[in-house]
Structure 1
Amino acid sequence: MSLLEQLSTAEVAPSDRLPFWNDIARLVAPIQVESLGETPFEARLYRRKLRDCELLSPCSSPARIYSAPDHENAGVLNIQVQHRGRSTNHTGGRTAVLEEGDFVLYDPSKPLWLSFEEYTQAIVVRLPLATVEERMPHLRSQVGVPVSGRRGAGALFSSFMRNAWEELEHDGSGEWVDALGDAIWPLLDMAYAASRPVIEPNRRDERRRALFEAVEADLTDPDLDVHRLARRMGVSARYVQMLFAEMGTTPRAFIQNRRLELAARRLEREGGDVTVTDVAYDVGFNDLSSFCRAFRRRFEMSPRNYRAGERG
């Protein structure tokens, strides 16, 4: 049984489908969809949230899509994998034609347009910018650069995402789904290794690494805040806030997200051997109700249900 969230125009009158779909699309990003076909427009959107990222799969009849800069989505980067059909994408000052299996990185905080003249399905991986900066700090330099999914490391990443998506469509309830997000990063790193420019770490990169280390060192301390991080790093609190702002987040949000990820891993690993209360206090929360609310917002279920294996 698939556990994908699905939105569709199937139950909408043909004349109302395009306005309906534009309203739906704006829930994901501020885009405008124009139909290119003579037949009635039709589209579907599947969604699945993972622990460290989100997967979307839009399917559509021929269309042209425009996207204005979306500062609300400044905290993510998107990888678009062409799953079926062919599309032309323009982003980051570059134009790329994607055949089946090819993929391209785009920044939803920047303008984007794409078009396709046949029925098309894409797989979009939404990556938190804070995690990108931590694991692959130079990935943003590759916005708009197409990667072939037919050879080399690009084929490994593309095949993995397309096969994983087809498994999700048929059975997204397996334990393997929780580890899917972890498997994406090393494959993505290999896919961009050849085209990524070699850049010597600068002082800002070193400060960012020091910031991540400072967060991890005191992550479970309830008193960890921007001032504690600044003292550990020997910089001002304003500078620490600026480093987080460059990653599209805030110190409080980043710390809370890391604590929730740590809590989720403990609940997965230890299951019924640990109480939700113990986990909440152990990872740095000093209030159980606050932990439960934050956990539900992050994982769309209670810590108790997550521990019981009802993830998805």
Structure 2
Amino acid sequence: MPYILNTDEVDERERAEFVHEALGSTMVPIELHWPGHHRSVDARGIITDLGDLTVCSGRTTALRVERTPALARDSTEPSIFINVQRSGSSIVVQHDQEAVLQPGELVMYDSTSPYTLLNDMGMSGYFFRIPHSALGIPHDMIRTACAVVLRPGHPVTSLAHDYLSRLAADPALTTAVNADFIGHPSIELIRAVITIHLRADEFAAEPLAATLQLRILEYARKHLHDPDLSVEQIAAAHHISVRHLYKVLARSEISLSDWIRTRRLEACRHALAATPAAVTIGAIARRHGFSDMSSFSRAFRAEYGISPGEWRRR
């Protein structure tokens, strides 16, 4: 379901905090700087998840948006953002680079480093978030393409601008049955724009294969809570065979079952130390993907040398 952002429904004195929390939970934590009095705080928008692609169409009266150094180090999933300029002009600053964006142009910035967005008429436009793991481009290449206008005038960039603008502007597209299917080809188009900008022809030919192991493990990490998570599910999500999945992981001597079990146990160990005693050990185990208490207890003792109950008491 789309998230509707509308400050008209909030008391004037609470609007700034409302927008801050709403964007932090749906897009990425940021700091917004508003003009003058709290009455000037205004924001409208629609935010929709389409698989790995998050689409935001909106406007605010904020004149400056910042992802501060402290926020850039938070636990938010590393992601890139594509900003599609609708009208007027805006500025994106990141990595000592500055892009002045005009209508019809695209720019990218990265959540893992500080950035600043500026618009003296208020921030507005179409914004698209893609996790690094879904984009499939190495971080050093992402850094190079940040805060640079992405090949203005190139036919693929023009196509991407028109397509993304329509996708964000038409709620019927993002709320239709099976709209999640739009996410993957949209990310492919954005990847093409970035790799064309970088002239990374050799990488553009096989970006998915080059990052397949990363995307497999990131998918598994995001679904650790699912007790039914299986190698068949993970392979199907990446449109590969189970045999090929095992082959990819074997290059780094990774056992998928061991990798999943270890990270589930790590999550349980942290939760046992931080969760009130009223929450049972069984509830914690189930929350992190273990469906059988006896097998969880055996695995926990084998990994850490003590039982879950002993660890919690310590």
The TM-score normalised by the length of structure 1 is 0.61
The structural deviation recorded for 1:21 is 2.4
Question: How far is the alpha carbon of 1:55 from its aligned partner?
Answer: 1.4
Deviation at 1:93, TM superposition (A): 2.2
Contact 1:30 1:70 (C-alpha < 8 Å) held by counterparts: no
3-state SS of the aligned residue for 1:29? coil
Picking from 241, 250, 270, the partner of 1:232 is: 250
Which residue of structure 1 aligns with residue 22 of structure 2? 24
Q: Which amino acid aligns with 1:41?
A: V
Distance 1:102 1:164, change over 3 A: same
Aligned equivalents of 2:216 and 2:28: distance in 1? Answer: 33
Q: What corresponds to 1:180 in structure 2?
A: 182
Select which of 181, 189, 192 maps to 2:191. 189
Matched, 1:114 2:114: no
Measured at CA, do residues 236 and 64 of structure 1 come closer, stay the same or move farther in structure 2, by a change above 3 Å?
A: same
Indicate the residue corresponding to 2:104 in structure 1: 101
1:47 shift after superposition: 1.1
* Partner Cα distance (2:215, 2:10) in 1: 51
- Return closer, same or farther for 1:144/1:252 CA change in 2, 3 Å cut-off: farther
Distance 2:149 2:105 in 1: 7
TM-score normalised according to structure 2 size? 0.60
Cα offsets for 1:211-270 (capped at 9, x unmatched): 479989x93299x9xxx668732x444xx99xxxxxxxx9649xx9xxxxxxxxxxxxxx
1:50 deviates by 0.9
C-alpha distance in structure 2 between counterparts of 1:180 and 1:206, whole Å: 18
Q: CA 1:193–1:67 in 2, change beyond 3 Å: closer, same or farther?
A: closer
What per-residue deviation string (whole Å, max 9, x for no partner) do you get for residues 54-102 of structure 1?
Answer: 2123411242111121432243222122234421110132111112232
What's the CA shift string for 1:111-160, capped at 9, x where partnerless? Answer: 01111111442222111211222799944531222126655221110110
Q: Which residue of 2 aligns with 1:71?
A: 74
The match for 2:232 among 212, 220, 236 is 220
Task: Quote the offset at 1:161 in angstroms.
Answer: 0.6
Residues 1:49 and 2:52 are matched in the alignment: no
Whole-Å separation in 1 of the counterparts to 2:208 and 2:5: 43
Structure 1: where are the runs of 5+ without partners?
Answer: 242-249, 257-284, 288-312
Aligned counterparts of 2:89 and 2:111: Cα–Cα separation in 1: 21
**1:127–1:137 Cα change, 3 Å:** farther
The higher radius of gyration belongs to 2
Rounded Cα–Cα distance in structure 2 between residues aligned with 1:213 and 1:143: 22
- Aligned equivalent of 1:158, options 148, 161, 179: 161
Q: Secondary structure at the match of 2:85?
A: strand
Give 1:172 deviation, angstroms.
3.8
Unaligned ranges ≥5, structure 2:
220-229, 235-241, 265-288, 292-314
Rounded Cα–Cα distance in structure 2 between residues aligned with 1:178 and 1:109 = 26
Match of 1:261 in 2: none
Aligned length: 237
State whether residues 79 and 105 of structure 1, in contact with CA within 8 Å, keep that contact through their aligned partners in structure 2.
yes
Question: How many Å separate the matches in 2 of 1:9 and 1:213?
Answer: 37
Deviation at 1:6, TM superposition (A): 0.5
Task: Provide the rounded CA distance (Å) in 2 between the counterparts of 1:126 and 1:31.
Answer: 14
Q: Distance in 1 between matches of 2:100 and 2:82?
A: 15
Matched AA of 1:89: V
